Amino acid sequence: MCKGPDDNVTVHTVKEVGQHKKLSDLWVVIEGKVYDLSKWALKHPGGLKPLIHTAGKDATVLFNGFHPSRVKKMLAPLCIGTVAKTEMPVTKRIEELRQKLVDEGFFSTDRSFYQWYAVRLIALFSLCLSLTLWSKSVYWKLLGAIFLGLFWHQGMLLGHDLCHNSVNGRKLDYFIAQMLVSLFGISSSWWKASHNNHHIVTNAVEHDADIQHLPFFVVDSEYFKSIWSTWHKRIMDFDDFSNLMVRNQAVLFYPIMMVARVYLYIQSVVYLATGRISERRGFEIASFSLFYVWFPALICQLPTWGTMAAYFFISHAVAGILHVQICISHFPMPTYMNMEMENDSEAFFKTQLVTSLDVTCPWYMDWFHGGLQFQVEHHLFPHIPRHNLRKVQPIIKEFCEEMGWKHHSVSFFEANRMVVNHLYEVSKKTPNMRFTDTKLYDLLCARG
C-alpha cells in the first residue's frame, strides 16, 4: 500500500505526473498520492470522460467531490508513489477547508427535510389531479396544469439531489432517481452523465454540454466556427438557421425556456436508445415509458384539443422556470477554450469560482431555488445536501477572501438581466450571412 514520502515510496514531481495524460498512460494525483489508472480506466463506474479531463493532473478536489471516503481504500493497489507536499500548498488549504466542513457535519443529510419534501410533492400532484380530473371549469383544469408544472419543477430539483447522492447514498439514490426522474419523462442516467461532465468542465466551450445549445443559443463567439463537441461527439454546425436564431437569442430566451423541457425528452430518448446505461437499463426504460402512458392519459381527460394544447404549454412553461434557474448559474459567466488546467486542485477550484454564479435570496425562497442559488458552493462540494448550503456559503466566502479569490453573487433579477444582456452582446457578433451562402439558396439552385 502507498502511504507517503516517508515510507520508502517513489516521490514524483508534478511535472513528471503531467507527462502521463493519455488514456493508455494515465496518472492522477489524489491527496498527494500518485495513482496509475492506465489499466483500470475502462472499469471506472463514472465513465472515461472524468478521467480523460483529469489525466496528468491533481484530481483531489474532483475525487472528493464525487466519491464517498470509502472509495479511497479501493485505490490502494493503484498507488505508485507520492508528490512532494511543498509542490501543492494550495491543495492542502482546500482540503483543510473540506475537512472543516466534514467535521462540522455539513455533509450529513437531515432525513426530515426530505420526508417533508416528499409530502410537498404528493400534495402538488394531488392538487394537479384533483383540479384536472374533477373540476368542471376549464380554468380550474388549467390551474391543475400550473400545479403539474410545479410538481415537475420541485421533482426535478429532488432528482438533482438524488443524482448527486446527497440524500441516502449512491446505490439507493440512483435507484430512486431512475424510478422518479424517469417517471417525469427524463432519463436520470442521461442527466447524471451529462451533469457530472458539466461539473468537471464547467463552461468549457468544446466540452460542457450545458452551454452547447446550437442552433438556438450561443454564449461564446467560438461557436460561430462550428466546433467539435467532445460530449455530443460531432461538429456543432453554425448554419443559416443557427444564424437566424442566435441573432434574436436575447428575445427568444424566455419563450424557448417555456418549452425547453421537450428538449430533455428528446435527449433522453436518444440516450436510452443508444444503450449506454450500465445499471438497471431495463428498469429505467420501463419507468421512463410509463411517463408516456400517464401524461397523455391525463391530458386526454380534457374536453377539447385547444384545452389540451393549453394544458401542455402551461405545465411545461411553469416547469421551464427550472431551465431559467440553470442558465442564470453559468450563462453570464466566463467561458474558455482548449481547457488546460494546471496540475493542482487550485485551478479547478478557481475555475468553479469564475464560472459559477450564486443568487442571493431570503431563506423563505429556498424551496423555489432548490439549492441552485448556491451554485458556487454546490460546484465546489457537490455532495453537501442543499439544506446545508446556506450555512456553508459564508464559510466559502471567508475562505475566498483569505485566498484573494472573488466569489460572485447577485439577485435573481440581476442574474436574469445578466443572461439576457450577455446573449444580446454575443448576438451582435453573429457573422453576416448573405442569402447566397445559405442552404436555402443551395436548395433553390439544386446544389449540394
**Looking at the predicted structure, is the pLDDT value of residue 409 above 80?**
yes
**Looking at the predicted structure, is the pLDDT value of residue 396 above 70?**
yes
Q: What is the mean pLDDT of residues 240-262?
A: 96
C-alpha cell at 428: 451582435
pLDDT tens-digit map of 177-186: 888 899 999 9
Structure confidence at residue 343 as a pLDDT band (50, 70, 90): very low
By mean pLDDT, which of 172-176, 378-382, 403-407, 430-434 is the weakest? 430-434
**Looking at the predicted structure, is the pLDDT value of residue 87 above 60?**
no
- Report the residue count for the chain: 448
73 φ, ψ (degrees, to nearest 5): -65, -30
All domains of the chain in start order, with CATH: 11-87 (3.10.120.10), 111-328 (no CATH)
**Looking at the predicted structure, is the pLDDT value of residue 146 above 70?**
yes
Q: What is the mean pLDDT of residues 3-19?
A: 70
410 φ, ψ (degrees, to nearest 5): -140, 175
State pTM to two decimals.
Answer: 0.84
Q: What is the mean pLDDT of residues 349-378?
A: 96
User: Which pLDDT does position 442 carry in this prediction?
Assistant: 58
User: Which pLDDT does position 340 carry in this prediction?
Assistant: 52
Structure confidence at residue 341 as a pLDDT band (50, 70, 90): very low
Q: How far apart are CA 21 and CA 19, in angstroms?
A: 6
Determine the straight-line distance between the first and last CA of the chain, rounded to whole angstroms: 62
Q: Which long-range contacts (CB under 8 A, 24 or more apart) does 290-296 make?
A: 290/182, 290/183, 291/182, 291/183, 291/184, 291/185, 292/185, 294/183, 295/185
At a CB cut-off of 8 Å and minimum separation 6, what does 183 contact?
287, 288, 290, 291, 294
pLDDT tens-digit map of 281-305: 888 999 999 999 999 999 999 999 9
Structure confidence at residue 90 as a pLDDT band (50, 70, 90): confident
User: Which pLDDT does position 424 carry in this prediction?
Assistant: 97
pLDDT tens-digit map of 44-55: 776 777 777 778
pLDDT: which is higher, 7 or 355: 355
Q: How far apart are CA 297 and CA 45, in angstroms?
A: 37
